[in-house]
Amino acid sequence: MEQSIIIARPVAAVFAYRSALEQTREWQTDVLATQLATVAPVAVGTHGTESRRQTKDVLSEWDIVITEFELNHVLGIVSSCGAVHIRERDFFTASDDGGTRYTAHVEMTGSPLPASVFHKRTVEELTRFRTRLEAQV
């Protein structure tokens, strides 16, 4: 699945916010906390865990690892919990209006969640991401 969104902020600001993994909970509603096991700055090989809410009463621990990192251009993340794996490649390019085109390529395997529901959640999360980032001064 691929989804793009235009954000009225410079590429460097959008990339910095997306690669600040410990801030993911600010815009991804199922993420409760992210703990990195490696020392900053984020780079290829950075890894940690995310605590996520699966349902109201069920929490899960996800392993996350940065698989690709090209400052202000590309961010690759693999997340896994049991048989479920999510591979994400994010691309950041300047848009014609001076903002940023953020394109997320996301693939999920091993989950019973229908693709249409996963796509809807991804769009909602990207919209929250944009709203949070554009609200920052």
- Give the confidence band of 137 by pLDDT, cuts at 50, 70, 90: low
- Give the confidence band of 123 by pLDDT, cuts at 50, 70, 90: very high
**pLDDT tens digits for range 75-107:** 999 999 999 999 999 999 999 999 999 999 999
Report CA-CA distances (Å) from 96 to 10, 57, 93, 134: 11, 45, 10, 17
Per-residue model confidence (pLDDT) at position 57: 81
Domain 2-135 = CATH 1.20.140.10? no
**pLDDT tens digits for range 11-23:** 999 999 999 999 9
Residues paired with residue 48 on neighbouring β-strands, in sequence order: 36, 64
**Stretch 51-65: mean pLDDT:** 90
**Percent of the chain residues past pLDDT 90, beyond the cut:** 92
- Give the confidence band of 8 by pLDDT, cuts at 50, 70, 90: very high
Delimit the domains of the chain by residue range. 2-135
Count of Cβ atoms closer than 10 Å to residue 52 Cβ: 21
**pLDDT tens digits for range 19-41:** 999 999 999 999 999 999 998 89
